[in-house]
Amino acid sequence: MAFREGEPRTMSRRRFTALASASLAASAGLASAPAWAVGQEIPIGALMPLTGAGGPFGQNMMKAVRSAVDQINATGGPLGRRIRLYQEDDQTDPDAAVRAAKKLIEVNKVSAVIGTWASGVTLAVAPVCQASKVVEMSTSGATKITTIQKQGFVFRTEPDDTLFGRAYAEFAAVRGWKRVAILGLNVPFTVTTVSNFRQAFEAHGGKVLSYDTYNQSQTTFRSETLKAAQGKPDFILVSGYEPDVTGILRSAYENGLHATFLVPGFSVSDTLIKNAGPAAEGLLLVQEGVAEGSPAYKEVVSALGGSEYYSFAAQTWDQIQLVALAIEAAKSATGSAINHGIHAVSGPPGTKVSSFAAGVPLLRKGKKINYEGASGAIDFDANGNITTANFRIAEVRGGKVVPVQLVKNVHF
C-alpha cells in the first residue's frame, strides 16, 4: 500500500487533525499564489529500496525527497501546483519494483518515478515507465542501462560503471602507483569497470600484473589472494560485493600479507568493517561523490541530521528538484514535458542554480538555468547519463570510514 508524505500507515486521530490543519494552511498558502497558479496537485512517485540490500540507503533517500518536496511546496510548487509524493518500497527486488511502478503509474497517475537504486530494479522498471511515457530517475551504475536509455525517459544521477573504472585509475595516478593486481567478481559491472580502469591505468604507464575473476559461489579466497599479492603490486583492486571483499581481506590478513586494497564504496558497509575487523584497516574505498560544501548538499545533511556520507540521498534530492524545475520550464507536468524539461534545466548554458526556489524566478522571466545540485554538477548527455562525476576516496581507519581525497571531474 502506498502512503503519502510521511503519513504512517495507520492514522491516529491527532495525526489526522494535524494533517487536516496542515492542508488547510497549505490551501491558504495557495490562495496567495499567482492567479494562474490554480490547479491540481502534481503526482510524483518515489520508488526506493526501503527494505532488502538497499535498505540502509533507501531510508535516507526517501527522507531527503520528502524534505525536498516540503521545501518545493513551501515556495508554491512548479506552475504554482503542489507536488504530491507517492512513496513505494521496491524491496531491492525487480519483481516487487515492477508491481509498485505499475501501481504508481496506473493508480496514482504519476508522471515521474524517482529513486530506483539497484541496477536490476532500474532495468526492470525502465521499460514500464517508457511504455507509459513516464520519466524514471535512477541511482544505478550499470552500463547496460544505457541501452534502454536510448529510448528516452530514463535519467541516471549515479556515475556509470565506466566512470568508476576511470576514477580508480586517476586515484592510482595521484598516488603514483604503477603496478596493480586485479580481482573481480564475475559480473557485468566488473567487466565494465575493469576494462575502463585498465585502459586509463595503462595510458598513465601502469602495468596490470594479474587479473583474476571469481564466481559468486566462491567461498574461500586463499589462493586467489596469494596469487594477486605475488608480484608485490602497489595495490590490489577488488571489484566485488561485500561478502567476497570481506573474504579476500580476511584471506590477505591470514596469509600475513601487507597489501593495499582499493574497492568500490558500495561493497563496504558497517557489516564488512565488523566482519573483517583488523583486516579492513587501511582499506581504500572509491565512493560516488557529492558536491561537498555546496549549499544543496548542506541542506541534505541538515535534512537528514546526521554525520554520515549521504551520496544516494543527495542524488534523490537532486532528482526531485530537477523534476520540479523541468515541469516549470516545460510549463506542463506530463512525462514527455518533464523528459524535455530535465535536459533544459540541468546543463549549460544558463545561470547556475542549486535549488528549485532559486531556479523558478529565473524560469518565469524566461531565462535559462543550469541546476548544480547536492550530488554534483549533473549535466546529462543525450542518453540521460551524467557526463562528469566526482568521486571521494575514503579509508578505513580504526573501524571508521574517513575521507582522504576527492577525485573530481571524471569524464565519459
Partner 1 sequence: MSELIRQYLVSAIVIASAWAPTAAGISLIYGVLRYPSFALGEFMTLGAYLTLGLSAGLGLPLPLSALIAATASGFVSLAVDQTAFRCVRRAGILPPILLSLGLMLILQNVVRAIWGNGSWQLDVPLARPYQLLGFTITPYQLITIAISFVTVGAAYVVLLRTRFGKAVRALADNPDLALVSGIQPEPVYAGVTFMAGFLSAVGGVMLGLQSVLTPLMGWDSLLPAFAIAILGGLGNLMGAGIAALVIGLAGEYSLLFVQSSYKSAVAFVVLALILVIRPSGILGGRS
Q: Which lies closer to partner 1 via its Cβ, residue 220 or residue 302?
A: 220
Min dist CB 222 to partner 1, Å, is: 4
Q: Which lies closer to partner 1 via its Cβ, residue 78 or residue 265?
A: 265
Q: Which lies closer to partner 1 via its Cβ, residue 67 or residue 92?
A: 92
Q: Which lies closer to partner 1 via its Cβ, residue 92 or residue 383?
A: 92
Maximum pairwise Cα distance, the chain: 73
The three-state DSSP-derived secondary structure of the chain is CCEECCCCCCCCHHHHHHHHHHHHHHHHHHHCCCHHHCCCCEEEEEEECCCCCCHHHHHHHHHHHHHHHHHHHHCCCHHHCCEEEEEEECCCCHHHHHHHHHHHHHCCCCCEEEEECCHHHHHHHHHHHHHCCCEEEECCCCCCHHHHHCCCCEEECCCCHHHHHHHHHHHHHHHCCCEEEEEEECCHHHHHHHHHHHHHHHHCCCEEEEEEEECCCCCCCHHHHHHHHCCCCCEEEEECCHHHHHHHHHHHHHCCCCCCEEEEHHHCCHHHHHHHHHHHCCCEEEEECCCCCCHHHHHHHHHHCCCCCCHHHHHHHHHHHHHHHHHHHHCCCCHHHHHHHHHHHHCCCCEEECCHHHHHHHHHCCCCEEECCCCCCCCECCCCEECEEEEEEEEEECCEEEEEEEEEEEEC
How far, in Å, CA of 191 to CA of 339, rounded?
31
Min dist CB 30 to partner 1, Å, is: 45
Q: Which lies closer to partner 1 via its Cβ, residue 242 or residue 379?
A: 242
How far, in Å, CA of 337 to CA of 340, rounded?
5
How far, in Å, CA of 3 to CA of 19, rounded?
13
Q: Which lies closer to partner 1 via its Cβ, residue 102 or residue 222?
A: 222
Min dist CB 96 to partner 1, Å, is: 14
Q: Which lies closer to partner 1 via its Cβ, residue 222 or residue 298?
A: 222
Q: Which lies closer to partner 1 via its Cβ, residue 25 or residue 226?
A: 226
Min dist CB 314 to partner 1, Å, is: 25
* Residues found near partner 1 in the complex (CB under 8 A): 52-53, 186, 212-224, 226-227, 230, 242-243, 246-247, 250, 253-256, 271-272, 274-279
* Grid cell in block for residue 320: 526531485
Min dist CB 91 to partner 1, Å, is: 11
Min dist CB 275 to partner 1, Å, is: 4
Q: Which lies closer to partner 1 via its Cβ, residue 52 or residue 141?
A: 52
| Contact yes or no for 58/309 (Cβ under 8 A) | no
